[in-house]
Structure 1
């Protein structure tokens, strides 16, 4: 009797395991994990300083070409928040803001107070918040903003009519003031960036923000209005915002990736710039999970003598499982001599690429599957020597506060970290 019972239990367990495996594979199938992956093969890439490079990049990465004056750059969290608030407080006609992540706290309260004050003073305030990224913000918070005249839209709220569409998020961080000034970066509105989280208190995070004026602001206003229209807002194309071209400044590639997409515009952008590098590739990305194309391009760059350095998150981070998954991908990079630095005092959240002496690409895009294939992102790329020098200072600062990971140290990581990392990588297309 006992033997028969055990046999039945074994059969039931096997059947249950098969059902669970089927469900898991079906979920991965529905979310596109088995979709055809593109292998990039690009030749005859123009040099970064050649006049044909922006045109070639525009074509292959579905970017927009515009011009803009780089006016400021910050990588201290307090400086970024101060610059944002001061710009909001100076606004005279419009404030258009889009963000992914917000949490209750001092920063969110300061931000709401500044928006409400300007709105009550007659400034048009349009606010797009990702519905998933702001789930911890109370309804009372939004009601107070709306009562002050702030127009709020939530990107991709959940609906049973299209449940899988909830996987598509806006990860953009964009602040536009009076149709004249644009702030682009990776920082949300949360005390987390000050190092204040429930489980630990660390140094302020490492992040960055860039400010532009000029014709690029018109381009970014149009990108903002696309999401505003999508969420039911009324888009005004009045001349105050959409002015005739104001020439001047550096040529800027604006890459507004949108999902769902079989290919990634930003992935093509990164891959092509890696091929164009002749001296160095310095990349900062917190959730460093590059696809096959980017990984092979980095390895090929190192093989031809390029100085390749990766600055990424260390143990103090906001996604522990992804940290272990990121570490699982170090093997070939370390073996090739690529330098990998893990930031130690706090979370490293910046997204920036420095190629050779002049070329910079920055915005909201992480080098991971979620940013490349599931989120709506925004990336700015340009050759600008002053900005490149400031980005170089950012890397020097970040690397000085980081540990360089060696192949010996990597091989000595605990077994449990390897297992968690491998299991997380299995779901990397949904991270």
Structure 2
């Protein structure tokens, strides 16, 4: 009996990739972020699109984020397209539904993609009310017995498109969770952001949205929603869609490792679920040895997934030994995903620095060098650091036996976290 159990466990670990050969993707002499061909080089290496756009707004925490989204929705005249991972019943979901329904009844075309797993707590009556108002709804990757493992792939994007010109992305789902409200040990709002862009990138992102719309079973009617080419004489933007990644082919991994290897003096990374794979850890150490100031802003004890927090902490020893600084946010759940590269580029969007975002989920990041957004993101990081616990090795070594046990056990399933 014990032999059978052991064989089953080994098979599970095998198919989960525990014994997978560890690849290190090596690129030398990447151009620094200041040179003209930087964006083109990164886009080529990460299967990304180069387009143009300018920042039209930046908001922090729930009240600002949801107010900005609702204002944009209420101003829509032609089409609203939205996709998200997490939706839960509550005030935020009701406000969102009311705004979408009002615009749909006014003749605006409204399309909503909800991740099937992330929105599973929503009652059927919620969707019915939206559909009765004229909102078109599709669910991403619904469960099917025909392919059980495929159901593990999730749509983690948060993308709002308004009238073919305004784009909003960030980390917040449609949920009261982001308000805090005594959830996960804190009443403070989750630390997150939303950013808006205008310009030609809207057309690119609408094309990416329509790909998901068709994947989910919807029809892309280009007579109703033509993809219009517009002038691109605006600041450069890199769009990295992170579409159906695999261990060997991940656009987000390539983007992140390219940013690490190109940075010259500063790399600040915000990721609540921080579990860099061995190859990514290696390039982080190489950058630190070049003298780069590397700081990680991640979630602390107040979090929605304590087991991920404990697992992440098991990797801190390697980082601290290499001189990489780790900051655990204390006020509430830290949910932001952001990269600041020197004083020149930022990468923002839905992707964490973990195996699920790099190798499992459909993600979406936008990277830009527009000067106006750099100080906004720098101030966001400084606010995060100021409200964080700076991890030192002595305290880390004194973590409890239970925390160590949970972390070590979950590391067995590293590639699924």
TM more than 0.5: yes
Larger radius of gyration: 1
In the superposition, relative to structure 1, how do residues 239 and 213 fare at CA in structure 2: closer, same or farther (>3 Å)? farther
Distance 2:151 2:396 in 1: 36
TM-score by length of 2: 0.97
Distance of aligned partners of 1:33 and 1:228 in 2 relative to their CA distance in 1, 3 Å threshold: farther
Counterparts of 1:157-306 in structure 2, within 5 Å, are 157-196=142-181, 200-238=185-223, 241-261=226-246, 262-306=248-292
**Unmatched segments (≥5 aa) in structure 2:** none
Measure, in 1, the Cα distance between the counterparts of 2:331 and 2:296: 17
Cα distance, 1:298 vs. partner?
1.4
Alpha-carbon separation, structure 2, partners of 1:197 and 1:227: 35
Q: Deviations over 1:116-139 (max 9, x none)?
A: 111111110000000000111111
Give the drift of 1:24.
2.7
- In the alignment, the residues of structure 1 paired with residue 145 and residue 219 of structure 2 have an alpha-carbon distance, to the nearest angstrom, of 25
Superimposed CA distance per residue, residues 42-75 of structure 1 (whole angstroms, 9 cap, x where no aligned partner): 0120111111111111111010111111111112
Match of 1:354 in 2: 340
Q: CA deviation at 1:335?
A: 1.6
Which residues of structure 1 form unaligned runs of 5+?
A: 1-14
After superposition, the Cα gap between the structure-2 partners of 1:124 and 1:34, relative to the gap in structure 1 and judged at 3 Å, is: farther
Q: Deviations over 1:303-323 (max 9, x none)?
A: 111111100000000001000
User: Corresponding residue for 2:296?
Assistant: 310
Which of 26, 34, 59 is the aligned partner of 1:74?
59
SS of alignment partner, residue 394 of structure 1 = helix
Query: Which residue, 326, 343, 346 being the options, matches 2:312?
Result: 326
State how far apart, in whole Å, the 2-side matches of 1:21 and 1:256 are: 40
Q: Aligned partners of 1:361 and 1:144: how far apart in 2? A: 37
Of 125, 130, 134, the residue aligned with 1:140 is 125
Q: How many residues align?
A: 416
1:84-95 counterparts in 2 under 5 A?
Answer: 84-95=69-80
- Asked if 1:415 corresponds to 2:401, the answer is yes
SS at match of 1:385: coil
Deviation at 1:241, TM superposition (A): 4.6
Give CA-to-partner distance per residue, 1:78-106, whole Å, 9 cap, x none: 11110000000000010000000011111
Q: Could you tell me how far apart the structure 2 residues matched to 1:277 and 1:260 are?
A: 25
Distance in structure 1 (CA, Å) of the matches to 2:183 and 2:34 = 47
